[in-house]
Structure 1
Amino acid sequence: MPTERFTFPGHDGHDLAARLDLPDGPVLATALFAHCFTCGKDIPAARRIAARLAGMGMAVLRFDFTGLGHSGGEFENTSFTSNAADLAAAAQALAARDMAPSLLIGHSLGGAAVLRAASDIPTTRAVATIGAPFDPGHVTHNFAGALDAIERDGAGEVTLGGRKLRIGQGFVTDVAGANLAPAIGALKPALLVMHAPKDEIVGIENATRIFTAARHPKSFVTLDEADHLVTRASDAEYAADVIGAWASRYVELKRPAPPIGAPEGVTRVSEADAGGFAQDVYAGGRHHIMADEPTSYGGTDRGLTPYQLLAAGLGACTSMTIRMYARRKKWPLEHVAVDVTHDRMHAQDAPSNGSERIDRFRREIELKGPLDDDQRARLLEIADKCPVHRTIEAGAQVETVLRAEAAREPA
């Protein structure tokens, strides 16, 4: 997954540091990610969610809010309102690249910020929140012991996540007075609320209030045992998978035209996890699945194995071919099911009587409906005429070339 670093001017003109995670292939849509309070763009949850969405064909911009991480400015001079303004500035930076965001994702206070900012980003079609507070002022409990000093001196130092930060009175006043209910009620994009029932930082009742305040279309998905920071990789990847599948219903995907000589488009396979064998498989810019190996073979068992994918192709083609023939003949075929198994056998057990091992696919076909014996026999013959069956039996020519960009990379 390629990642581009760049900066853009924030709400007050300071440069904000950003990472744009890009798909290996065409960009189907663009998402803008808002991190949790004082966290930063490189928190594991943000990195993992962005990586998974990029594997699904979406570009994801994540950036450090003013005064945090590698961004310029002073954090003590920021506010909840300025965070929302930074999000609008990020959207403008993406629009300047012809990549205006259609999906906004916010984690914790970043979730509250995207709810506030959505109306200022007209290209938004969907908003997803993760562990977001309904009342942004909820964050002040993190530095309750310093509130008196902040009010007295105009700013004060607090320790959050092991880091010392200066919080300004302007932030405290602004966030305490923030009321998201009108913004949520007026929200036109679709809304997905994700929350963990056992979140000890932002209680689950916040998700209930956000969901209740919103109009349809809206959805709620539980994150089960996840913690507030979505620390576990499996929780972040699950959240990303759900967001990607949900957003595809509301976000217009820019599907590429198939290249000449490839009427079904390109099937692109790229590593989803360099430490294992998981692969993102995107077909024709429309359909996404995952391929993997079982844990017993060093994989993470997050998708079909390569031979299961091949078996699926054979089974699907068989069923489609039978249905097409029965439909043309107007036969009373009610349902088709095909079970495919794959094994390797010694060739001496096969008709060729060779000594090498060969692959064997076995199909078990179920035909439902008031068919007579002749019709069933004919449909079984038709199964052998499915194009994938013929390709497997006849063999195919595989041409392999090195892409020009890869060829220039040093070994």
Structure 2
Amino acid sequence: MPPEKSPQSSVVYEQRVVIPNKHGEKLVGLLHQTSSKKLLILCHGFRATKDDSILVDLAAAVTREGINAFRFDFAGNGESEGEFQYGSYRKEADDLRSVVSYFSKQKYDIIALIGHSKGGNAVLLYASMYHDVPIIVNISARFALERGIDGRLGKNFMQKMKKDGYIDVSNKKGEFEYRVTKATLKDRLSTDTLLSSRAISKDCRVLTIHGSKDEIVPVEDARLFAANIPNHELRIIAGANHRYTGHEQELTSLVLGLIKSHHQTTLPLRPKL
């Protein structure tokens, strides 16, 4: 006879969900449904999509625990409507607000927002503005937003921006990928990570995970989040790069550990016999 299925291995249904943002753009996502009403929302990074392997792996892991997961494309990315923009930190936090509002109205209990890289910035910004989600997981987000720009735009990007008013970014094959305008560059440079970090409620548990060998965002950025967010836990994965290549299980287990510990502390107490 086959072994009986535990509640954690219950059937998971996948449903495509379309949610309008406040600009009328349709955000497309995939809901992994279990029998529970608890929900995690997963956010992708720069130039990525909801199908990023980090998000796919996390969605699979949490649904095995009987918790729903929703991964979606920010506007201008993947299947979602809108034009891709370089900065758009606040707009992505607004997109996330539309998603949270949608599922709240559907009577889901949103227990955590999880973001990788730029998606980490989105979930942290959200937490600084709205205080309605108890857990935030920031995976490899950048604290110092003034850094890392020249890696994409070139060393003399400010002179080029002043001269032309925009910078076109191409891939390694020389093919056009996206345009950076003065407005989108300003959006990035005017996003105050220090201020928003300090504005997160102490009732919100924030976990920052970062790889010690991250080649995109220096590990010291993770320590800056730790120094400025009121209720914060920092976990550095030794040897991990920005994508956690070869360290996927460590990443997943850290996220699950926090979710499960919160889940257990919020369960109703059983009366003593």
Tell me the TM-score normalised to structure 2 length.
0.82
Shift of 1:131: 0.8
Report the Cα distance in structure 2 between the residues aligned to 1:205 and 1:78, rounded to whole angstroms.
22
- AA in 2 matched with 1:179: D
Give runs of aligned pairs for residues 280-299 of structure 1, distance below 5 A.
none
- AA in 1 matched with 2:180: I
Report the CA distance shift for 1:185/1:122 in structure 2 as closer, same or farther (over 3 A).
Answer: closer
> Deviations along 1:317-356, whole A, 9 cap, x unmatched?
xxxxxxxxxxxxxxxxxxxxxxxxxxxxxxxxxxxxxxxx
Pick the structure with greater CA Rg.
Answer: 1
Report the Cα distance in structure 2 between the residues aligned to 1:230 and 1:250, rounded to whole angstroms.
24
1:35 aligns with 2:44: yes
Paired position in structure 1 for 2:213: 198
1:172 aligns with 2:185: yes
- AA in 2 matched with 1:31: L
State whether residues 142 and 160 of structure 1, in contact with CA within 8 Å, keep that contact through their aligned partners in structure 2: no
The DSSP-based 3-state class of the residue aligned with 1:136 is: coil
Report the Cα distance in structure 1 between the residues aligned to 2:100 and 2:205, rounded to whole angstroms.
18
Give runs of aligned pairs for residues 366-377 of structure 1, distance below 5 A.
none
1:239 aligns with 2:251: yes
Shift of 1:238: 2.6
The DSSP-based 3-state class of the residue aligned with 1:32 is: strand
Report the CA distance shift for 1:186/1:157 in structure 2 as closer, same or farther (over 3 A).
Answer: same
Paired position in structure 1 for 2:59: 50
Report the Cα distance in structure 2 between the residues aligned to 1:160 and 1:53, rounded to whole angstroms.
35
Report the Cα distance in structure 2 between the residues aligned to 1:151 and 1:76, rounded to whole angstroms.
19
State whether residues 29 and 251 of structure 1, in contact with CA within 8 Å, keep that contact through their aligned partners in structure 2: no
Give runs of aligned pairs for residues 7-406 of structure 1, distance below 5 A.
7-23=18-34, 26-27=35-36, 29-76=38-85, 79-145=88-154, 148-159=159-170, 164-188=177-201, 189-216=204-231, 218-232=232-246, 235-250=247-262
Report the Cα distance in structure 2 between the residues aligned to 1:147 and 1:42, rounded to whole angstroms.
33
Q: Which of 1 and 2 has higher RCO (CA within 8 Å, sep 6+)?
A: 2
Report the Cα distance in structure 1 between the residues aligned to 2:172 and 2:206, rounded to whole angstroms.
29
State whether residues 110 and 133 of structure 2, in contact with CA within 8 Å, keep that contact through their aligned partners in structure 1: yes
- AA in 2 matched with 1:194: I
Report the Cα distance in structure 2 between the residues aligned to 1:127 and 1:182, rounded to whole angstroms.
17
Shift of 1:190: 0.6
Shift of 1:138: 3.4
Number of aligned residue pairs: 251
- AA in 2 matched with 1:241: S
Report the CA distance shift for 1:139/1:84 in structure 2 as closer, same or farther (over 3 A).
Answer: farther
Over the aligned positions, Cα root-mean-square deviation in angstroms equals 2.5
Report the CA distance shift for 1:186/1:95 in structure 2 as closer, same or farther (over 3 A).
Answer: same
Report the Cα distance in structure 2 between the residues aligned to 1:56 and 1:97, rounded to whole angstroms.
21
Report the Cα distance in structure 2 between the residues aligned to 1:161 and 1:27, rounded to whole angstroms.
45
- AA in 2 matched with 1:174: D
State whether residues 66 and 72 of structure 1, in contact with CA within 8 Å, keep that contact through their aligned partners in structure 2: yes
The DSSP-based 3-state class of the residue aligned with 2:103 is: helix
The DSSP-based 3-state class of the residue aligned with 1:248 is: helix
Report the Cα distance in structure 2 between the residues aligned to 1:255 and 1:57, rounded to whole angstroms.
14
Report the CA distance shift for 1:28/1:92 in structure 2 as closer, same or farther (over 3 A).
Answer: closer
> Deviations along 1:282-336, whole A, 9 cap, x unmatched?
xxxxxxxxxxxxxxxxxxxxxxxxxxxxxxxxxxxxxxxxxxxxxxxxxxxxxxx
Report the Cα distance in structure 1 between the residues aligned to 2:46 and 2:248, rounded to whole angstroms.
17
Report the Cα distance in structure 2 between the residues aligned to 1:156 and 1:120, rounded to whole angstroms.
31
- AA in 2 matched with 1:249: S
Percent identical pairs in the alignment equals 24
Tell me the TM-score normalised to structure 1 length.
0.56
State whether residues 21 and 27 of structure 2, in contact with CA within 8 Å, keep that contact through their aligned partners in structure 1: yes
Shift of 1:253: 8.3
The DSSP-based 3-state class of the residue aligned with 1:101 is: strand
Report the CA distance shift for 1:154/1:77 in structure 2 as closer, same or farther (over 3 A).
Answer: farther
Paired position in structure 1 for 2:3: none
Shift of 1:177: 1.4
Shift of 1:28: 5.4
- AA in 2 matched with 1:131: S
Report the Cα distance in structure 1 between the residues aligned to 2:192 and 2:262, rounded to whole angstroms.
26
> Deviations along 1:49-76, whole A, 9 cap, x unmatched?
1111111122111111111111101113
